[in-house]
Chain A
Amino acid sequence: MTKQETGPRTGPGPAPGHARPSVRRKSAYPYALYLPAGIVFLVIFLVPTVMAFYFALTRWTLFDSEFVGLQNFQDFLAEQNLRIGFQNTIVYAVVTSGLKVVLGLLLGVLLTSKLRLRGFLRSVVFFPTLVSTVAVGITFAMLLKPQTGLVNQALALVGVDGRDWLGDATTALLSVALVDVWKGVGLATVIYIAGIMSIPQEYYQAVAVDGGGAWHRFRHVTLPLSWPATYSVIILSFIGGLRSFDLIWTMTRGGPGFTSDTIASIIYKQYQAGFFGLSTAGNVILFLVVTAIAVPLNYYLGKRQVAA
């Protein structure tokens, strides 16, 4: 995104001022075209976002609010499960986006190769992204049941003792994260497929001339030149992971105990309990966390993208 900013200025477009500089004509691109999008975005998105900073400081019933200062933040941060929720949010985002990058890249390479079943496999991998997260969550909660679930039955066939994946505090969060990867890796793969396909063939030919093998092609051409795809996948899935709520809510409700709670699920629990100010304080915290991570990440990745 940082790249785009410099785009228009360095580009060979018309000089600033357009057509005839002497006559100040109306631009062919009136700012009025921004209006519909701008109004909806401003009213429905920005106003609540800004108001959140105020309401987070109040005891709030939607109808009145009483200013309580930083009390909500104190309460929210004092909540013993918040530390877990915070950790979980980060772990979840790192695990899901990391796996999506690795698996997406591998699948992308595989599905751009001369495989005969390429078309079929592409569809199969992409298919889960179309199904609602709730449906996926419900189905996998069934598949992961300790005694009756298919996952453990399959594991038993090869002699491995499965466990109660979602009921066990040590595995609950990771199990949900893996399901998230199952559902989301199709999108990552598609992004990689496009990235890999846009690499000019000459580079591969050059490697062939130098006598490089498959590993060489991957290491020195595909990997560095699919960087823009990696950038998109990381940003999309990392931010998605930080905010993720529906899959966790459907599969574990934050349990067992609070061990798979994330910031988003804590926000929902406070909202359900009627603590609107507290819930909003949670939202402000989520906002700060996401921004604190996404902005430097975007900047760093954007810089590397230009360099690559």
Chain B
Amino acid sequence: MRTLKRFGAESVAFVLATAIFLVPFALMLLTAVKDPKQAIDLDFAWPTSWPVVENLVAVVEARDYVLLRAYVNSTIITVASVALLVVFAAMAAFVLQRRPGKVARLADFLVLSGLIIPPAVVPTIWLLQALGLFKTLPGMILAEVAFNLSFAMLLFRAFIAAIPRELDEAAQIDGCSGLRLFFRVIFPLLRPVTITVILVSSVNIFNDFVNPLYLLPGDDNATVQVTLYNFQSQYNTQWNLLFMDIVLIMIPPLVLFVFFNRKIVAGMTAGAVKG
């Protein structure tokens, strides 16, 4: 009787969670493979025809292959900024955690302000323009690094706190300090949290819509999120293509998720909860 009740409760949980969290994805997928006429209905009817390849080709070819350019741009931005972010944040978090004092207090304050303060977007445009970096990928990359530093440092710092200082001292006796101590001894130990930072920030940066909207306007510099506006206009929306586009740009985060599911959760919580 008891197991039966439990089974019932679990089924309810399963059905509810599926309905609430997966139904929207089912709609995206179904609409993406329908023909334009059927796609307008936006319902769960089974597709009468399966123009999967046609839709795919149409999305890729739209606006002179903007999606492909966007994919390249988004990939460059994501990979480059995450690489810089990991190294910069880990280095800074290491000194911050290990060397208390006035400088650490200032750094602490800056990390906190980076978390709290909304970036001043228009002055950022002005600054990037002065540096010749407005509407360029390097400018966008540096901006993503700056905007994501605080969170990455928080995660790294919590993790570094758990690494015993004796290790540093042993390395110092062997003549290792500063940069070498960090890259030879500490950085390799940070692997679990590094994976988390890579996953969280690459999903964040790849999915970023607001910053490219301000800092990287123009078709040449389109990022994948911005392409979602290609198939929507005030009068006419090509639903099947729009949702095919959504599905296509969901793939990279999805792949990361499938492969690193457990690690995302494990590493993220290690840092976030200690806050």
Contact = CB atoms under 8 A, between A and B. Distances in A.
Contacts of A229: 273
A4 B165 CA distance: 17
A284 B145 CA distance: 22
B181 interface: yes
Contact of B100 (A9, A47, A128, A243): A9
B117 A44 contact: no
Nearest to B91: A33
Nearest to A28: B177
A198 B273 contact: yes
A124 interface: yes
Interface of A: 1, 4-5, 7-9, 13-14, 26-34, 36-38, 40-41, 43-49, 51-52, 55, 60, 62, 110, 115-117, 120-136, 138-140, 142-143, 145, 148-150, 153, 182, 190-191, 193-195, 198, 228-229, 231-232, 235-236, 239, 242-243, 245-246, 250, 264, 267-268, 271, 276, 279-280, 283-284, 286-287, 290-291, 294-295, 298
| Residue of A31, A148, A239 with most partner-chain B CB within 10 A | A31
Interface of B: 10, 13-14, 17-18, 20-25, 27-28, 41-44, 84, 87-89, 91-92, 94-100, 103-105, 107-108, 110, 112, 114-129, 142-143, 145-147, 149, 153, 161, 165, 168, 172, 177-179, 181-182, 203, 206-207, 209-210, 213-214, 225, 228, 232, 239, 242-243, 246, 249-250, 253-254, 256-257, 261, 264-266, 268-270, 272-275
A129 B265 CA distance: 12
A279 B210 CA distance: 15
A34 to B, nearest CB: 5
Given A182-B20, A195-B273, A284-B120, 4 more contacts: A28-B98, A51-B127, A194-B273, A276-B122
10 contacts: A34-B91, A41-B146, A48-B120, A123-B257, A131-B250, A132-B207, A149-B42, A232-B275, A267-B121, A284-B120
B208 to A, nearest CB: 8
A273 B41 CA distance: 35
Given A132-B225, A291-B117, A52 B272 contact: no
Contact of B153 (A37, A47, A264): A37
Nearest to B146: A44
A28 B254 CA distance: 41
Contacts of A123: 257, 261
Given A117-B13, A132-B225, A194-B272, A48 B119 contact: yes
B21 A125 contact: yes
Closest CB pairs A-B (n = 3): A194-B269, A52-B120, A48-B123
Nearest to A65: B126
Nearest to A235: B275
B268 A190 contact: yes
A139 B22 CA distance: 12
A193 to B, nearest CB: 7
Nearest to A44: B146
A271 B125 CA distance: 11
A36 B182 CA distance: 14
A132 B202 CA distance: 12
B118 A264 contact: yes
Contacts of A115: 10, 13
Contact of A140 (B24, B142, B261): B24
Contact of A36 (B13, B88, B107, B181): B88
